[in-house]
Copies of this chain bind each other. A is one copy, B any other.
C-alpha cells in the first residue's frame, strides 16, 4: 500500500514509522486531500502488523490534523496540506575543518595547565555536594548566583588581594567573556563609543563589535594604558586590564589609575576592570585591583577559567549598586543563571582553602616555566630581544627590535610546527607593535618550551635568510 515499508526490528516504534510514512505522503501529495484511508483492520493485514498499531498511528495523524477521523465514519485526508518539495540547501556553513597540522610546540596564550587541576579532590567534593545538596538547588536559584559562593569569593578577594567586596555586590557569571558580554549590554548607549586598550584581547574586542559598539582605541605602553589619550574623549566605559595588561604585560601605575577614576567621575561613565590572570605573580604579591579606588565607578571582572580550568565556566563581576537591578533583569532574560551544582562545589573548594593552595602550587610551576622560557630565549637569541611587562600571568610578550612579525610569519611558524602569536593580532591600529610576539607558557612542560624555542629559532633564521 503506497509503497510503505516498515522496519520491524528498528529503533523507532512501528506506529511512529507508519505515522511518518503516511504524513510524508500527505505532505508531498501522493495521498490526496479527501482520499479515504483504508480501514485499520485492512491496513494492519496488508502491512502484517497489529491493528492496534494502525489505530495509534491514525490517532497521531488525527491529533495533528493530517486526517479527519470521526468515530463511525471512514478516515479522510485533510485539505490544503501539500508542500512543495524541499529545495536543496544552499550555501551551507556547516563546518569543514582542514585536518590540523600537528604542532610540536604550541605557545598559544590564555591556557592554564589542565593537568594541575586537583581532579581527585574535585571529584570528592562533587560527590559530597550532590549528596548533600537540598532539592531547592535543582530548580531555579536566581540570576545572581549562590550566596555561599559569593561569600567565599568575597573572603578570598580580601585574603589574597586586600579587596573589600560585599557578597551582595558580586554576581556569578559563566566566565569573563560572558561577564563582559552582559556588562556591555548594560552600559550600551546609542551612539556612545567605548574606550579600549590598544592592543587588547581580540576576543574581547569582538564582543563589542558584535554589539555594534564604536570602539575608541587608547594606546598602551610598557606601563599599560596611556590615560593621557583619554582626555576629552566621550564614552560610556573604558575597558582596561590594569593588573597585567593583555597582551603587553604592564602593571598600571597609581598615577594612571587615579587618572582613570577622575575621568570616569568627570564623564559619569564606568571603568571595566578585567582581572583575568593576576593571581599568578612570580615576584611579590598580586597587584591590588583598581576596584578598591572607587567601587561605584569600577566594574570588576574576575574568572576561574585561567586559575583553575576553562571547563568550569564560572567567573564573576562586582557591580556598583546602581546596576544591580538591570543586571538581574538582563541575566534572567539571556541565560537565566549558572548551573548551581558546580557553584556549590567551587564554594566548598574555596571554603577549604584548596583554591589558595592551588594558586601557590600553580604559581610555582608556572614561574619555573617562565624561567625556562626566558633562559631558552637567551640561549638561542642572546641579547637581541627583551621581555615586556610584569613577571606574572601565563604568557610573555617579547620584543625583537628590527624584526617584523605578521600573519604570514605566524602561518609559516604553524607550518613548521610552532604556534606563536604576533602582538599585531591583538592590535586595533596596526603597525605599532610589529616587532613583538606572545609566548604562552603556562600549559607547557619545560622540555617542550626548550624544544619549541629551539625550533622557533631555526624558523626565524631560515625566514631571515629567505
A293 cross-chain contacts in B, Cβ below 8 A: 27, 83
Among A92-100, A398-406, A420-428, the stretch in contact with B? A92-100
Identical subunits present: 2
Assess whether A135 is interfacial by the CB under 8 Å rule.
Answer: yes
As a 0/1 sequence over residues 189 to 230 of chain A, the CB contacts with chain B under 8 angstroms (1 = contact) are 000000000000001001100100000000000010000000
Contact among B78, B207, B253, B294 for A64, CB-based, below 8 A: B253
Chain A: residues with Cβ within 8 Å of the partner, total of 117
Assess whether A11 is interfacial by the CB under 8 Å rule.
Answer: yes
A309 pairs with B139, CB closer than 8 A: yes
Given A63-B251, A65-B253, A83-B258, the answer on whether A92 and B336 have CB atoms closer than 8 Å is: no
Assess whether A84 is interfacial by the CB under 8 Å rule.
Answer: yes
B334 pairs with A64, CB closer than 8 A: no
Residues in A1-46 with C-beta less than 8 Å from chain B: 11-13, 15-17, 19-20, 23, 26-27
Report Cα–Cα, A285/B64, bound state, in Å: 11
Contact among B95, B140, B177 for A325, CB-based, below 8 A: B95
B210 pairs with A162, CB closer than 8 A: no
Report Cα–Cα, A115/B285, bound state, in Å: 47
Given A86-B294, A321-B93, the answer on whether A287 and B340 have CB atoms closer than 8 Å is: no
Assess whether A320 is interfacial by the CB under 8 Å rule.
Answer: yes
Contact among B60, B256, B311 for A139, CB-based, below 8 A: B311
A320 cross-chain contacts in B, Cβ below 8 A: 89
Q: For residue A159, which residue of chain B has the nearest CB?
A: B11
Assess whether A269 is interfacial by the CB under 8 Å rule.
Answer: no
Assess whether A417 is interfacial by the CB under 8 Å rule.
Answer: no
B92 pairs with A178, CB closer than 8 A: no
What distance in Å separates the Cβ of A109 from its nearest Cβ neighbour in chain B? 12
What distance in Å separates the Cβ of A258 from its nearest Cβ neighbour in chain B? 5
Report Cα–Cα, A144/B97, bound state, in Å: 14
A78 cross-chain contacts in B, Cβ below 8 A: 253-255
Assess whether A234 is interfacial by the CB under 8 Å rule.
Answer: no
A64 cross-chain contacts in B, Cβ below 8 A: 251-254, 257, 287-288
Assess whether A382 is interfacial by the CB under 8 Å rule.
Answer: no
Assess whether A181 is interfacial by the CB under 8 Å rule.
Answer: yes
Assess whether A119 is interfacial by the CB under 8 Å rule.
Answer: yes
Given A138-B309, A310-B140, the answer on whether A15 and B95 have CB atoms closer than 8 Å is: no
Which has the most chain B C-beta neighbours within 10 Å: A23, A144, A334?
Answer: A334
Report Cα–Cα, A155/B11, bound state, in Å: 9
A92 cross-chain contacts in B, Cβ below 8 A: 321-322, 324
Among A122-130, A358-366, A444-452, the stretch in contact with B? A122-130
A465 cross-chain contacts in B, Cβ below 8 A: none
Assess whether A312 is interfacial by the CB under 8 Å rule.
Answer: yes
A102 cross-chain contacts in B, Cβ below 8 A: none
Q: For residue A15, which residue of chain B has the nearest CB?
A: B285
Assess whether A341 is interfacial by the CB under 8 Å rule.
Answer: yes
As a 0/1 sequence over residues 313 to 349 of chain A, the CB contacts with chain B under 8 angstroms (1 = contact) are 1000000111111101110111111111110000000
Task: Spell out A's residues near B (CB within 8 Å).
Answer: 11-13, 15-17, 19-20, 23, 26-27, 56, 59-60, 63-66, 78-84, 86-87, 89-95, 111, 114-115, 117, 119, 122-123, 126-127, 130-131, 135-141, 144, 155, 158-159, 161-162, 168-169, 174-175, 177-178, 181, 203, 206-207, 210, 223, 251-259, 261-262, 265, 284-285, 287-288, 293-296, 309-313, 320-326, 328-330, 332-342, 390
**Can you list 28 A-B pairs with a CB-CB distance of less than 8 A?**
A23-B254, A27-B254, A64-B287, A65-B253, A66-B254, A78-B255, A81-B258, A82-B258, A83-B258, A86-B295, A86-B296, A87-B296, A92-B321, A94-B168, A111-B139, A123-B130, A126-B130, A138-B311, A141-B311, A174-B335, A175-B336, A203-B333, A210-B333, A310-B336, A311-B341, A313-B335, A313-B338, A341-B342
6 closest cross-chain pairs (CB), A and B:
A65-B253, A92-B321, A93-B325, A178-B335, A138-B309, A65-B254
